[in-house]
Amino acid sequence: MKEKKIAREERNQEKLANGDWVMAEFYATWCPHCQRMKPVVEEFKKLMVGTLEVVEVDIDQEPALTDFYTVESTPTFILFRKGQQLWRQSGELSLERLEKAVKGFKS
């Protein structure tokens, strides 16, 4: 189990540091706001296929990444391009707001 956790954290770290276009969602399983965002994030993933990768980071399972990106509340969304943070926002967001964040940088 611990090996899987380490492998997941390393894989996510690699994606956030080097991925072309990546949206990270830092969430917690116990967070009611994160639970309400689940269907929105799933729909966002479908809409963004071929445009960017959506990476979900469980703050309790991946504390090193959470600390590295100074995530203090959940959910927190961060848009990356090749490791550079382009946009960041915490709290419940609409599908339209997530799309607008990506389109603002990709257009």
State the catalytic residues. 31, 34
Rg of the chain in Å (alpha carbons): 13
CA 19 to chain centre: 12
Strands 22-27 vs 53-58: parallel, antiparallel or unpaired:
parallel
Q: Which residues pair with 85 in a beta bridge?
A: 80
Q: At what angle do helices 32-47 and 95-106 cross, to 10 degrees?
A: 50
Sign of the CA dihedral running 92, 98, 100, 106: positive
